[in-house]
Amino acid sequence: MIERLDWDSGFFGMGVGRLHAEALTPEVASRSYEWCRENRVTCLYFLGPEAAEVPPGFHMVDERVTLAWAAHPVAAPSPVVRPFVAADLPALEDIARQSHRDSRFHSDPLFDRARCDELYATWIRRSCQGLADSVLVATCAGLPAGYVACQNEAIGLIAVAGTAQGSGLGRQLVTAAQHYYQSRGAPSVTVVTQGRNRAARALYERCGFRVAGAQYWYHFHA
Ligand SMILES: CC(C)(COP(=O)(O)OP(=O)(O)OC[C@H]1O[C@@H](n2cnc3c(N)ncnc32)[C@H](O)[C@@H]1OP(=O)(O)O)[C@@H](O)C(=O)NCCC(=O)NCCS
C-alpha cells in the first residue's frame, strides 16, 4: 500500500514514497504518518479522488486532468515539425528546464526549484533516448523550438520555448502527434495536464481533445 520510490528519493535527495489507496481517509492518513516515520520518508505522494476532508500534513498540489481524442484522419503535419535528431538534445533539455513550472513539484515548497527544472530536462532526455516511442521536434528558423513525446497512445511531455509561444507551434506539435497515432491505427489518444495549466488545456481542446476525467495529487510532508 505504501512504497519507497528509490529513483525519486535519490534525485531529490530526500526520502520519497507513494501511497496507493482508494481514498484519503483518516485511517489511511494515520497509517501513512507511522510508515513515513519508520521509513524516513519526508514526502509521500498520493493520487486519487478529491478528499472530503484533507488530513493534517497532506496538501493538494495538483488537479490531474486527462483529456482524450477519438482518432480520425487529420491534416499531414507541417514541415516545421520533424522527428528528433541527436543534435537537438541540448536545446530540448534547455526548453524542458524552463517549461514545466505548473508541475506538482514546482507547486510544493519542499522541492528544490532547480531540481524540479532538472527533472524535466532528465525526462525529455530519457524520452529521446528510448523512453518514448517517438519525439517530434518543432523548429523555428531551423532551430529546435519545441517538442512532443509520444508514448503508449498518449502525448507525454510537450513544450514550446517561451520566445516561440503563441505562434501556432503547439498546435503543429499536437497535430503531428495525432497524425503519428492515427496513421499507426491507434483508436484514441490521451494526454494528462494540470488543471491550472490554462494554455495546455486550451491547446488540447483546440485540437479536438475532450476532458475524460480528473484526479488529485496530494503530497504528505512528514
Ligand atoms: C502549452 C503550450 C505547448 C502551447 O504552445 P503554443 O505554441 O504557445 O500554442 P499555440 O500558439 O499553438 O496555441 C494553440 C491554442 O492554444 C491556446 N493557447 C495557447 N496559449 C494560451 C494561453 N496562455 N492561454 C490561453 N490559451 C492559450 C490558444 O487558444 C490557441 O488556440 P488558437 O489557435 O485558436 O489561437 C505552451 O504554452 C507551453 O510550452 N507551455 C509550457 C509547457 C506546458 O505547459 N506543457 C504542457 C504540460 S502538460
What is the pLDDT tens value at each position of the chain, 222 positions in all?
999 999 999 999 999 999 999 999 999 999 999 999 999 999 999 999 999 999 999 999 999 999 999 999 999 999 999 999 999 999 999 999 999 999 999 999 999 999 999 999 999 999 999 999 999 999 999 999 999 999 999 999 999 999 999 999 999 999 999 999 999 999 999 999 999 999 999 999 999 999 999 999 999 999
Q: Give the per-residue pLDDT at 165.
A: 98
- Cα–Cα distance between 77 and 177 in angstroms, integer? 9
Q: Cell match 514550446: residue? A: 160
Q: Give the per-residue pLDDT at 118.
A: 98
Decide: 199 in ligand 1 pocket, CB within 6 A: yes
Measure 12 CA to ligand 1 centroid, in angstroms.
29
- Cβ burial, residue 125 (10 Å; 0-12/13-18/19+): middle
> What type of residue sits at position 33?
Y
Contact yes or no for 63/216 (Cβ under 8 A): yes
- Cα–Cα distance between 113 and 106 in angstroms, integer? 6
pTM over 0.85? The answer is yes
Question: For a pocket test of ligand 1, which of 80, 116, 165, 197 has the largest count of ligand atoms closer than 8 A to its C-beta?
Answer: 165
* Crossing angle for the helix pair 169-183 and 198-206, to the nearest 10 degrees: 50
Q: Give the per-residue pLDDT at 95.
A: 98
Which numeric CATH code is attached to 67-214?
3.40.630.30
**Range list for CATH 3.40.630.30 in the chain:** 67-214
- Cα–Cα distance between 95 and 170 in angstroms, integer? 13
Decide: 107 in ligand 1 pocket, CB within 6 A: no
Q: Ligand 1: which residue has its CA nearest to atom 33?
A: 168
Question: Tens digits of per-residue pLDDT, 23-34?
Answer: 999 999 999 999
Decide: 198 in ligand 1 pocket, CB within 6 A: yes
Q: Give the per-residue pLDDT at 189.
A: 98
Contact yes or no for 111/12 (Cβ under 8 A): yes
Q: Give the per-residue pLDDT at 182.
A: 96
Rg (C-alpha) for the chain, rounded Å, is: 19
Q: Ligand 1: which residue has its CA nearest to atom 38?
A: 159
Contact yes or no for 84/55 (Cβ under 8 A): no
